[in-house]
Amino acid sequence: MRFTIEQRPEPSAVMRVVAPVAAIALTLVVGAGLFAALGHNPVAMLDAFFIAPLNSLNGLSELLLKASPLILIACGLAVGFRANVWNIGAEGQLIMGAIAATGVGLFYPNPDSVLLLPLMFLAGMAAGMAWAAIPAFLRARMNTSEILVTLMLTYVATLFLSWLVHGPWRDPAGFNYPQTAMLPPYALFAPFDDAYRVNHSVFITAVAVVVMWIFTDRSFLGYKMAVAGAAPLAARYAGFRESAAIWIGLLAGGAAAGVAGMAEAAGPLGQLSPNVSPGYGFAAIIVAFVGRLNAFGIVLAGLLMSLLFLGGETVQVSLGLPSALTRVFQGVLLFFLLAADFFIFYRIRRVGGQN
Amino acid sequence: MIKTTRRQFLKYGAVGAAIGATGFPSILRAAEPLKIGQVNASPAAEIGWAKQHALGIDAIKAEFGDKVAVTVIDNIFMPQDAERVFRELASAGNKLIFGTSFSLGTPMQKVAPRFPKVAFEHCSGIVHLPNLGTFEAKYYEGAYVAGAAAGYMSKAGKIGFVGGFPIPDIVGPANAILLGAQSVNPKATCNVVFLNSWYDPGKEKEAALALLSQGCDVVCGMTDTGTCVQVAGEKGAWSIGYASDLAKFAPEFHLTAFMMDWTSDYVRAAKGVADGTWKSEERWDGLKAGVVKLAPFNKKIPAEAQAKLVQLEADIGSGKVHPYAGEIKDQDGKVRVPAGAMLSDKDIRATNWLVAGMSGKLA
């Protein structure tokens, strides 16, 4: 008796629903087993991981604050991913967005202007797009791999940021430590309530999700890009230009990442230091795929990733677990989610009795 | 309807009297341990910066036993996350919260005003608030003595220095090592390299090997690893440890280490919070207070030189010798400290220049 893997003629509609549920169920079982094996009460652990972070207004505020940049960037990246344009360098585009926005915030001649925040928004978006335009140009003109160029430009952006905060932008009153001065009050997003950190930048993410949904599901251009991704030759035959897909795909990701960088600088950070992003640009790639490159899915995936992160901290604070264990658990969930997806497109079949 | 019998009445009365006599709050205090939190930017480790701070927590536990409950959160490097963790610890009832990295400063400054009844202690911080105190070590005092040891033992008169980041807390001690070496051998020089990482053993090994191939025969690494000591030992070169005693990485070649001992800072803060006398302080101590210490000198250092080193250590502790006494010129020959003067405390904490005799850049 043998088994083979074969592609389903049609993606399975049943598995589409069953896969994520099964993945979460398997994660809970494996996670509970893992915690029990290490001598912790699995129920208390899962409660601390998934329930406790959502139990207070502050927890919800933190969840949104963490999920917002992930969802925003993932929406931008998904536009490109749908057309097989692989922008792996959102992290670098985010950093450039944060740099440009902070530059405007620190050096705009009138720090009390209500125009400051909108200008920072535009600067952040433009910088993210400019950083993404480099791989777009190289790919469209010279067929250079955008995967490599976007990734390597991330290192360039990191070093540029490091140079700025160690050198020309260093806070003159900061004892020579590598960080800029704090942004003036008008350069910061106002929080909804002083007691919580979540701020008005979540509206930007909400708008981005709607725009992304309209573009991918309701516009002809979005349809053309999806065709270009699924069947490049057919797309060319139909007269869809590949370079348009490359430019739109990369610029959408760059704009979203740049704005996310601006929102970090003008939100929870309030200044630049050598590290502005906890890897949002890379985590957003996972969010985009766990969310199946679809606006609604990305929102759920972004919230889930943030919850995993916050839950990991909660078990450290409330139950004293080592951070390594919480990361293992996070990895288990992502593994099952992506592995379960496999069964939407493939099935395992028993073949024959011979052999 | 509630009927109260005489017996019940008496019983409750007795309980009430007992509470009145002993005082309610003290009963609570006895039942609930003082909650203390610590947030670290790096993962837990066996040696180095993280270890020395873990020893601080151990000292609190040893002193207070089950009267304290400590929560340690490791690996919180990003300011966005740090702010949430500090809030969470404060909301969870921790009355004293330590942050052990400079990078945690801005988040602590944002969180502290929201929890005025919680005491925050920031190691290597520069900003003070009514409930945010700082503590820091005078690394340069120990570094100067270690540098003098290098001066006695180096044949080439060339020291190699690997720094984590080019921040004042690292650049200053690098200068002090060379000044210490020059106090013994005026021709001593030093090559510096910065990794821009606290923990990158691969890169650090390359840096150490490069320094050795440039002719340095003493190597010191101000990072979170023992790599420099280990690599130097394998190549038969001397080394200086930092943060912890790193002799175990190269027992033959480890000259000494300038170590930090934060236990007094930790215990003092915990005592203050426990008895209600805690105040936001700016503590900056060195050899005298024992916050900076030197590891045992290598036996291969001649007895005469060892005696001088011990004397130097005592003289710096008593203030007779100041490591940054003039005249000190920088790399470009500009006089930074005129003869007869001393570098001010503020300038020491903001050092962003290298002394004459240094090769390398702050980048």
- The domain that holds B238 is classified in CATH as 3.40.50.2300
A273 near B CB under 8 A: yes
Indicate whether B131 and B164 sit together in one domain: no
Q: Is residue B10 part of a domain?
A: no
Indicate whether B143 and B133 sit together in one domain: no
Indicate whether B167 and B241 sit together in one domain: yes
B39 lies in which domain range?
32-137
Indicate whether B117 and B157 sit together in one domain: no
* pLDDT tens-digit map of A95-120: 999 999 999 999 999 999 999 999 99
Q: What is the mean pLDDT of chain A?
A: 90
For position B31, what pLDDT does the model report?
60
Q: Where residue A183 falls among pLDDT bands split at 50, 70, 90?
A: very high
Q: How far is A82 from chain B (nearest CA, A)?
A: 31
Query: Nearest residue on chain B to A173, judged by CA atoms?
Result: B350
Helix (H, G, I), strand (E, B) or coil at A348: strand
Q: How far is A322 from chain B (nearest CA, A)?
A: 8
What contacts 24+ positions apart, CB below 8 Å, involve A267-270? A267/A65, A267/A188, A267/A189, A267/A197, A267/A199, A267/A201, A268/A65, A268/A197, A268/B79, A268/B80, A268/B83, A269/A98, A269/B79, A269/B80, A269/B106, A270/A182, A270/A183, A270/A188, A270/B106, A270/B110
Of residues B16 and A94, the one with the higher pLDDT is: A94
Q: Is residue B23 part of a domain?
A: no
pLDDT of A302 higher than 90: yes
Indicate whether B243 and B331 sit together in one domain: yes
For position A288, what pLDDT does the model report?
94
- CB distance B137 to B286 below 8 Å: yes
Secondary structure element (H or E) that encloses residue B62, with its range: helix B48-64
Query: Nearest residue on chain B to A269, judged by CA atoms?
Result: B80
For position A283, what pLDDT does the model report?
92
Cis-peptide, bond into residue B206, ω within 30° of zero? no
Q: Is residue B7 part of a domain?
A: no
For position A21, what pLDDT does the model report?
86
Q: Is residue B222 part of a domain?
A: yes
Q: Which of B92, B120, B137 is a domain's end point?
A: B137
pLDDT tens across the length of chain B (363 residues): 444 455 554 454 444 444 444 444 443 455 689 999 999 988 888 999 999 999 999 999 999 999 999 999 988 888 889 999 999 899 889 999 999 998 899 999 999 999 999 999 999 988 899 999 999 999 999 999 999 999 999 999 999 999 998 888 999 999 999 999 999 999 999 999 999 888 899 999 999 999 999 999 999 999 999 999 999 999 999 999 999 999 999 999 999 999 999 999 999 999 999 999 999 999 999 999 999 999 999 999 999 999 999 999 999 999 999 999 989 999 999 999 999 999 998 899 889 899 999 999 886
pLDDT of A215 higher than 90: yes
Indicate whether B229 and B155 sit together in one domain: yes
Q: Is residue B4 part of a domain?
A: no
Of residues A326 and A72, the one with the higher pLDDT is: A72
Query: Nearest residue on chain A to B102, judged by CA atoms?
Result: A177
pLDDT of A17 higher than 90: no
Indicate whether B129 and B143 sit together in one domain: no
Chain B residues inside the 8 Å CB shell of A58 = 87, 91
Q: Which of B84, B110, B137 is a domain's end point?
A: B137
Cα angle A7-A305-A16, degrees, rounded to a multiple of 5: 25
What are the angstrom distances between the C-alpha of A202 and each of A63, A264, A295, B110, B242?
A: 11, 11, 15, 21, 45
For position B77, what pLDDT does the model report?
84
Tell me which residue in B78, B79, B196 faces A162 most closely, judged by beta carbons.
B196
Q: Is residue B68 part of a domain?
A: yes
Q: Is residue B116 part of a domain?
A: yes
Q: Which of A70-74, A224-228, B47-51 shows the lowest per-residue confidence on average (mean pLDDT)?
A: A224-228
Tell me the domain boundaries of chain A: 67-291
User: CA-CA distance, A317 to A173, in Å (whole number)?
Assistant: 34
Say yes or no for a CB contact (<8 Å) between A271 and B196.
no
Say yes or no for a CB contact (<8 Å) between A322 and B74.
yes
Chain A residues inside the 8 Å CB shell of B88 = 313-314, 317
* pLDDT tens-digit map of B132-142: 999 999 999 99
Say yes or no for a CB contact (<8 Å) between A323 and B73.
yes
Indicate whether B190 and B307 sit together in one domain: yes
Q: Which residues contact B50 (CB under 8 A, 6 or more apart)?
A: B40, B42, B43, B44, B74, B100, B224
Indicate whether B215 and B321 sit together in one domain: yes
Indicate whether B225 and B326 sit together in one domain: yes
Indicate whether B52 and B197 sit together in one domain: no
Q: Which of B137, B170, B189 is a domain's end point?
A: B137
Q: How far is B109 from chain A (nearest CA, A)?
A: 12
Which range of A160-174, A247-261, B14-28, B159-173 scores highest in mean pLDDT? It is A247-261
Indicate whether B133 and B148 sit together in one domain: no
pTM for the predicted model, two decimal places = 0.83
For position B16, what pLDDT does the model report?
45
B81 near A CB under 8 A: yes
What is the layout of strands, in order, in the sheet containing B254-260? B292-294, B254-260, B238-243, B218-222, B158-163, B189-194, B358-359
User: CA-CA distance, B54 to B45, in Å (whole number)?
Assistant: 9
Please give the tally of structural domains in chain B. 2
For position A236, what pLDDT does the model report?
82
